Structure 1
Amino acid sequence: MSKEKVCVFSYRDFDEAEYFQKLSRELNIELIICRDGLTLENIDIVKGCRYISIITTPIDNVLMKELHDRGVKMVSTRSIGFDHINLKSAAQYNMHICHASYSTNGVADYAIMLMMMASRNMKRILQRADIQDFSLPGLQGREFPKLTIGIIGAGRIGQTVIKHLSGFGNPILVYDKYQVDEVKKHAHYVDYDELISQSDIISLHAPLNEENYHMINEHTLARMKDKVIIVNTARGGLIDSTALINAIESGKIGAAALDVVEDEFGLYYNDLKSQPLTNRHLAILRNYPNVIVTPHMAFYTDQDVHDMVYSSLKSCLLEASGEKNPWRVYPR
């Protein structure tokens, strides 16, 4: 049986390589490896491959056309989100687009960790401890189980967050278009306005699309409780960064914990310590004492890296055999 060729971009030796080598043998796949992200300069490496695997490289109309012209039939992104891929261009060039799935525990538990850190002023505690300032003023936290937590988006990750939170005893509100009976055991479904007005902590677990772009904005922030805590482990574009900054500076927002920010492409996962930070919103947010910013790390566990590699490679084989592909996001 001949091997299917898959061209892997942004191949990482320090974490993914072990899984790529093991799984490619098990799945009988030949890997064409590129350690850099896909660009017009290195695109010729895809010749002879019908399938490619990327991480978060933006795929615009130009790249989509060039991939099509070289015989590529499918782009698989090793991420749950796929907003970095131009789906209109995919339709134009009949390109199939697939994403990855992985254990929900990593992101869910990271989100809960951020909720607890933000509610206990952990950033300021750690900063003071580093300079041997062991004073108490300004560090008093909030009793976590007494806080009402609003979950926006109750997909696989959101449901896991709710399940894991249920042991803390918090009142939990949920906003999602689709209701699931299992969620109702631990939480109450409400409309969006009720959630944002009644929650002490709001945690985002929704995908980014045209409908919910900037769903946290000047107007929705104004309807929230004073000193609300915002947690985002989903996508940066769900929050209007300018409105967020204004609400932090006015004191409306008590704390924020952000694993994702707007316009993070090209920043995260790179060593930029000797370069100016070009994302002004990120530069500002990092400096507030009540804002925790982490570099899109919520997913990053051993299990999740394995699962992303597996789903990306298995997706290619399913497409090649014409079988039903649960990871395909376009065309559905």
Structure 2
Amino acid sequence: MKILVYSYRMDEAKYLDKFSKKYNVEIELCKEGPTLENANLASGFNCISIITTPVDRNLIKKFYEVGVRFISTRTIGYDHIDIKSAREFGIHVGNVTYSPNSVADYTIMMILMISRKIKTIMERSNVQDYSLKGVQGKELQNLTVGIIGTGRIGKTVIKHLSGFDCKMLAYDIYKDKKLNQYVEYVNLKELFQKSNIITMHVPATKDNYHIIDKNSITLMKEGVFIINTARGSLINTDDLIDGIEKKKIGGVALDVIENESNIYYNDLKCQVLDNRDLAILKSYPNVIVTPHTAFYTDQAVSDMVENSILSCILFVEKKENPWEVC
């Protein structure tokens, strides 16, 4: 069988070569993301593999016309794909899973960085300012961490944080009894009210849209730290900025942000960014912003490539596919 891989990156090369040989699959590569202009490249391919490029109704229709019947995104999230239109045209969609340690480790790093004011410390040390004023941090053992979402990544965050001897609260529609030794499950309102640190590990769904907004921020403790390594749409950015400026929020660490498409993963250093909120957030001393790189480890990239190939194979062979979402 053949798979067309869009948005091919050089860091994926050795894994594409390794797993195409392992599973006896022919891989065609396209460095660009999928567009109406290059959709014809998919002619003759039942399956294509993409990353985060938006795939809207028009592109879905075009892919259907050229014979594509399965789209595999090499990401856990699939909110960049118009699922409704895919169902309408009879195109199936699959995501992938990868090592939860990648995002979990990164999340804990961001928790430590924001609670210990590392951004200010590093920026000062770069100009040889080694003073202590304003950089006194907090110890995790004295804080309560609220984890929203206890799936694969949230569960791993909890297990790793257990070594820091901090109190943990958790919220999820589906409770995992095995985590009761580490966390206390509470409702979302109670988590907001009692947590010093809030970290989110849920998908970008309609129900999860703007979990954090002015109403939830009002419930939170003074000086709360907010961490987001999941999806930008979980936070209302305007309300977040307002909470920071009113000093209700003590610090924020964001690996994702609303309207990040066409910004992250591109070299834009000589351009004016089309995202004013991103520029504002980066200007604050108590806000850390990274470009959606929490997932980015060698193991995760290997998993993303392998599972995308496997998902396509399972679809073509009409076998049960754990990654198929529609």
TM-score, length-scaled by structure 1: 0.98
Equivalent-residue separation in structure 1 for 2:146 and 2:52 (angstroms):
28
Report the alpha carbon displacement of residue 78 of structure 1 after superposing the two structures with TM.
0.4
Counterparts of 2:275 and 2:12, CA distance in 1 = 28
**Structure 2 equivalent of residue 9 of structure 1:** 6
Contact 2:170 2:183 in 1 (8 A): yes
In terms of mean alpha carbon deviation, does 223-232 or 39-48 score higher? 39-48
- Contact persistence 2:140–2:165 (CA under 8 A): no
2:181 counterpart residue number? 185
Q: May I ask how many residue pairs the two structures share in their alignment?
A: 326
Which residue in 2 is equivalent to 1:127? Answer: 123
User: What residue number does 2:292 align with?
Assistant: 296
Could you tell me how far 1:217 is from its partner in structure 2? 0.1
Which residue is equivalent to 2:307?
A: 311
Aligned to 1:165, what secondary structure does the other structure show? helix
1:214 matched to 2:210: yes
- One-letter code of the match for 1:10? S
- Aligned with 2:146: secondary structure? strand
SS at match of 1:38: coil
Q: What one-letter code is carried by the residue in structure 1 that aligns with 2:20?
A: S
Partner of 1:283: helix, strand, or coil?
Answer: helix
Q: Secondary structure at the match of 2:274?
A: coil
Matches within 5 A, 1:9-48: 9-13=6-10, 15-48=11-44
Letter in 1 for 2:18: K
For 2:12 and 2:170, locate their aligned partners in 1 and report how far apart those are by CA, in whole Å: 35
Within the candidate set 158, 163, 168, 2:159 is matched to: 163
Pick from 297, 316, 320 the counterpart of residue 320 of structure 1: 316
Question: Residue in 1 aligned with 2:143?
Answer: 147
What corresponds to 1:251 in structure 2? 247
Correspondence for 2:192: 196
| Letter of the structure 2 residue corresponding to residue 22 of structure 1 | K
User: Which deviations, in whole Å up to 9, do the C-alpha atoms of 1:32-72 show, x marking residues without a partner?
Assistant: 11001001111111011000000001010000000000110
Deviation at 1:140, TM superposition (A): 0.4
- 1:259-293 Cα offsets, whole Å, 9 max, x none, are 00001011111000011011111111011000000
1:43-192 equivalent positions in 2, closer than 5 A:
43-192=39-188
Q: Deviations over 1:236-258 (max 9, x none)?
A: 00000000000000000000000
- TM-score, normalising length: structure 2: 0.99
Helix, strand or coil at the partner of 2:226: strand
Please identify runs of 4+ aligned residues in structure 1 that moved more than 3 A.
none
**Secondary structure of 1:318's match?**
helix
Deviation by residue 1:304-330 (Cα, 9 ceiling, x = unmatched): 000000000000000011100001111
Aligned partners of 2:160, 2:139: CA distance in 1, in Å?
18
Question: Separation in 1 of the partners of 2:181 and 2:90?
Answer: 43
Give how far 1:171 is off. 0.3
In structure 1, C-alpha distance between the alignment counterparts of 2:206 and 2:88, rounded to whole Å: 19
Q: What amino acid does structure 2 have at the position aligned with 1:6?
A: I
Match of 2:179, SS? helix
User: Which runs of 5 or more structure 2 residues have no equivalent in the other structure?
Assistant: none
Deviation at 1:143, TM superposition (A): 1.5
2-side partners of 1:112 and 1:265: how far apart?
A: 25
Amino acid at match of 2:6: F
Query: Identity of counterpart residues, as a percentage?
Result: 52
